[in-house]
Amino acid sequence: MAAQEVAAQPSDTLATLKTESETLKTKLEEERAKLHDVELHQVAEKIEALGQFVMKTRRTLKGHGNKVLCMDWCKDKRRIVSSSQDGKVIVWDAFTTNKEHAVTMPCTWVMACAYAPSGCAVACGGLDNKCSVYPLSLDKNENLAAKKKSVAMHTNYLSACCFTNSDMQILTSSGDGTCALWDVESGQMLQSFHGHAADVLCLDLAPSETGNTFVSGGCDKKACVWDMRTGQCVQSFETHESDINSVRYYPSGDAFASGSDDATCRLYDLRADREVAIYSKESIIFGASSVDFSLSGRLLFGGYNDYTINVWDVLKGTRVSILFGHENRVSTLRVSPDGTAFCSGSWDHTLRIWA
């Protein structure tokens, strides 16, 4: 009898809530459509087309014994940290290609790694469901693993990690469907972000001028923008047709790009609250694993599962170059902090620096 009374409240029945949710979704689409007065590439018709690009592999970093899964640049614009399926995390000097540090993780598939803003530590994790921070010692003989600090604990694999503006906080995303913000010193969770309906595969922090938000992408085909202070999802976008493998903010912070298993990359504008460009070609049928912008935001570099890197004109929507060289899937790609080069990592065990 009590159960019946609870179910009888009209505003709360499952059916009425479902109807309301459908109505709201329609309303959301209508509001977005009202402002869709033009396409980005139409606005960009008047600007000059880009010329021919000559980008080549300038360095090849060899040393991983298995697939390279992730990499990140140090703010000094020359050091790089990379992680691999074989459990190794390596810090390189990209100018000389020398290895400066190497750590063996207790797990395989180290899917995430990040350089601390100070350049004095790296964070990494993967199938161990954790994110650990290793301070980088100047003493090459020192055993880095001894100083390891476990920071984040998820209930499934760690897919991405990123320091916030200091060495003190780390943002993580996980196969458990959540993202979280952690205090490095205490290991305490400061905020958690719930809303994805499946594994979260990637995240990116908004440029500092834009304020405290970040974007995440997942196997639920959704990209979500989060308020770091409240834990609330403030905007979400669901136009991809498959897993979103990579998300990256446009340098101004007003938009972000995504790369997906549906073989497209897309641009979403945050103020217009909608997708404003799709970067695709009929000939591109393999998923995009990683994306990043050049410094001005005019170029979008996409690493794909067909071993290539496609370079897109962000405004006009056209492809300006295709780069060959890797001998297996490109799994990770980042432009250097000063924009002079970008680095790609691949299942072919190598990393390449292009400029």
Partner 1 sequence: MSGSSNIVAMKKIVQQLRFEANINRVKVSQAAAELQQFCIQNALQDPLLTGVSSSTNPFRTQKAFSCSCDISAGEKTKKTTAMMCN
Task: Report the site for partner 1 in 76-105 (rule: CB under 8 A).
Answer: 78, 94-95, 97
Strand pairing of 255-260 and 244-249? Answer: antiparallel
Please give the structure tokens belonging to residue 314: 């962000």
Residues 116-155, interacting with partner 1 (CB under 8 A): none
Q: In the Cβ-directed half-sphere of 225, how many Cα atoms lie within 13 Å?
A: 23
Pick one of 335, 344, 347, 349: the residue that binds partner 1 (CB under 8 A): 335
CB 113 within 8 A of CB 88: no
Nearest distance from C-beta of residue 295 to partner 1, angstroms: 4
* Nearer to partner 1 (CB atom), residue 187 or residue 253: 253
179 near partner 1, rule: CB under 8 A: no
299 near partner 1, rule: CB under 8 A: yes
Strand pairing of 130-135 and 309-313? Answer: unpaired
25 near partner 1, rule: CB under 8 A: yes
Nearest distance from C-beta of residue 312 to partner 1, angstroms: 12
CB 269 within 8 A of CB 255: yes
* Nearer to partner 1 (CB atom), residue 148 or residue 227: 227
Applying CB under 8 A, the span of 45-53, 84-92, 98-106, 183-191 interacting with partner 1 comes to 45-53
251 near partner 1, rule: CB under 8 A: yes
Contacts of residue 143, defined as CB under 8 A and 6 or more positions apart, other chains included, come to: none
Pick one of 254, 306, 328, 337: the residue that binds partner 1 (CB under 8 A): 254
Pick one of 149, 233, 286, 328: the residue that binds partner 1 (CB under 8 A): 233
Contacts of residue 245, defined as CB under 8 A and 6 or more positions apart, other chains included, come to: 201, 202, 217, 259, 260, 261, 287, 288, 289, 290
18 near partner 1, rule: CB under 8 A: yes
Nearest distance from C-beta of residue 318 to partner 1, angstroms: 14
Residues 255-294, interacting with partner 1 (CB under 8 A): 255, 269, 271-274, 276, 294
Residues 190-219, interacting with partner 1 (CB under 8 A): 195
Closest residue by Cα to residue 222 from 192, 256, 250, 253:
256
327 near partner 1, rule: CB under 8 A: yes
- Long-range contacts (CB closer than 8 Å, 24 or more residues apart) made by 78-81: 79/115, 79/119, 80/115, 80/343, 80/351, 81/113, 81/114, 81/115, 81/122, 81/124
* Nearer to partner 1 (CB atom), residue 125 or residue 302: 302
Nearest distance from C-beta of residue 235 to partner 1, angstroms: 6
Pick one of 5, 8, 37, 141: the residue that binds partner 1 (CB under 8 A): 37
Q: In the Cβ-directed half-sphere of 191, how many Cα atoms lie within 13 Å?
A: 16
* Nearer to partner 1 (CB atom), residue 129 or residue 328: 328
Applying CB under 8 A, the span of 134-142, 178-186, 204-212, 247-255 interacting with partner 1 comes to 247-255
Total residues in contact with partner 1, by rule CB under 8 A = 77
* Nearer to partner 1 (CB atom), residue 124 or residue 315: 315
229 near partner 1, rule: CB under 8 A: no
Show the DSSP H helices in the chain as ranges: 2-8, 14-34, 40-43
230 near partner 1, rule: CB under 8 A: no
* Nearer to partner 1 (CB atom), residue 115 or residue 250: 250
Applying CB under 8 A, the span of 10-18, 124-132, 161-169, 200-208 interacting with partner 1 comes to 10-18
3-state secondary structure (DSSP) of residue 7: helix
Q: Measuring CA to CA, how many Å separate 51 from each of 313, 319, 320?
A: 11, 12, 8
342 near partner 1, rule: CB under 8 A: yes
CA distance 355 to 199: 34
CB 156 within 8 A of CB 129: yes
List the beta bridge partners of residue 221: none
